[in-house]
Amino acid sequence: MILSVASGKGGTGKTTVAVNLALALGRSSRGSGVPPSNDGSSPRNNGHPPRGSGLPLREHGQPPRGSGLPPGIVLVDADVEEPNCHLFLRPRWKGRETITLPVPEVDLERCDYCGRCADVCAYSAITVIRDVVLLFPELCHGCGGCSLLCPRGAVAERPRPLGSVRWGRAEGLSFYHGELDPGQALAPPVTRALKARALGARGADLVIVDAPPGTSCPAVEAVRGSDLCLLVTEPTPFGLSDLTLAVEMTAKLDVPTAVVINRADAGDDRVDRFCGERDLPVLARLPFDRRVAETYARGRPAVGAVPGWEERFRELGERALGLAAASRGRGEKRCRT
């Protein structure tokens, strides 16, 4: 099960939601803290699909091969341009892997300057002007087309480092994050590698992905393939404008979508009306709480620090998992017919 937490607008509380959601679900799956409620009805569950049968978590599982991490909930910080979940979780790091992209290298002894490589490159990362071959590795997306299609076999590939993936443990969670190297512009390959590592961890029952803000390639890559995307917004004109864009993005990606309204007691009701018109379930309305802001400023999550918030995030998590399970069921039925 993959839950992504995204937003159009930056600063709405994605990281707060992702980190606290992971912590709250982790605590309830381990049986500490407040036990999960079995109450299927809720005054705020207005007509949304019923919850799944508890959390899809294994009590005992195999540790993932080679990573040194036990199974269960995996939190993935996919804002590789500026990861920040680790500031709140302070993980014990267990490993790190460099992520590279294959970029072209030309053997000028073999090259006859036909320009086929330049014709097929969608990003102008390789070009041939008369008898000059030029490489722009920072533009290369690593598709391998130039190497594959060179009639003279003159184009080889070399790995270009883009960033790294790190993993560790924090508060009973497995934690992965990606870091794009300074000066690099190409986030998606790092995000792809990060998600592959996190999803490949054996026993990764629930993967929560904290996506970057916006609706451009890094956000698309983070959200792609989720069972449910939670869009965190705030009831302001900016919040609504960017929520609208984000909803278009998840629709194109065919990812079931629900909304979390943060600082729900501020602003106006236009976000609510928009969600009603678009049939978007609002899974939580989180009030502004000065104590949460204060713990945030000290680099601590609200769960475990501010009374009442563990229950709030656990309830949000249960609704999200129920909705994701129901959407998944519908998706499978769609696929069979």
188 touching another protein, by CB under 8 A: yes
| 168 neighbors 175 (Cβ within 8 angstroms) | yes
Cite the DSSP H helix spans in 62-164: 85-89, 116-120, 145-149
Q: Does 93 participate in binding another protein (rule CB under 8 A)?
A: no
Nearer of residues 34 and 134 to another protein, judged by Cβ = 134
Q: What does the per-residue mask of binding to another protein show for 124-153, with x meaning CB under 8 A? A: xx-xxxx-x-x-x--x--------------
Where b means 16+ CB within 10 Å and e means fewer, 60-99 reads eeeebeebebbbbbbbbbbbbbebebbebbebeeeeeeeb
Q: Does 297 bind another protein (CB under 8 A)?
A: no
| Residue 288 engages another protein in binding (rule: CB under 8 A) | no
CB of 234 to another protein, least distance (A): 8
Q: What is the DSSP string of 291-315?
A: HHHHHHHTT--STTTSTTHHHHHHH
Q: Is 10 in the site for another protein (CB under 8 A)?
A: yes
Verify binding: residue 106, another protein, rule CB under 8 A: no
> Please, which of residues 196-225 interact with another protein by CB under 8 A?
212-219
Q: Which is nearer to another protein, 132 or 335 (CB)?
A: 132
Which residues are paired to 104 by β-bridges?
Answer: 157
| Six token digits for residue 273 | 């009306």
- Which residues, listed in sequence order, are joined to residue 173 by a DSSP beta bridge? 170
Whole-number minimum distance, CB 222 to another protein, in Å?
A: 13
Q: Which residues bind another protein (CB under 8 A)?
A: 7-12, 81, 118, 121-125, 127-130, 132, 134, 136, 139, 185-188, 212-219, 238, 241-242, 245
